[in-house]
Structure 1
Amino acid sequence: MDETTIQLLCPECTKDWQASPDDLPTPADMFHCPNCHASRRTSEFMRTDRDLQTLKQLG
């Protein structure tokens, strides 16, 4: 079985990466970019609406 990943994109430095929903806080919690340390709600780092829905369902 394939592990589900979420596509992330930093709105400040444009770093993109993938993470498991288990490794991310809820969409409303604060999250920090591992590259530039920007702090925003986790939902603002989602690359697509589908990634946000996946996080809400599995996170």
Structure 2
Amino acid sequence: MDETTVQLLCPECAKDWQVSPGELPNSTEMFHCPNCHASRRTAEFTRTDRDLQTLKQLG
């Protein structure tokens, strides 16, 4: 069975990566880019609408 991941993209430095939704805060909570330390709502880091929906359902 494949593990579900969410694709993230930092709006500040354009770093992209994927992580399990369970490792992320709620979509409305603050999240910090591990590369440039930009702080925004977790939802603003999701790459696509599908990633956002996955985060909301499984996060």
TM-score, structure 2 as length reference: 0.99
Name 1:19's counterpart in structure 2.
Answer: 19
Query: How many pairs does the alignment contain?
Result: 59
The 1-side partners of 2:29 and 2:11 are apart by 16
Unaligned residue ranges in structure 1 (runs of 5+)? none
Q: Kindly, what percent of the aligned residue pairs are identical? A: 81
| Amino acid in the other structure paired with 1:56 | K
TM-score, structure 1 as length reference: 0.99
Q: Alignment partner of 1:56: what SS?
A: helix
| Alignment RMSD (CA, Å) | 0.3
Unaligned residue ranges in structure 2 (runs of 5+)? none
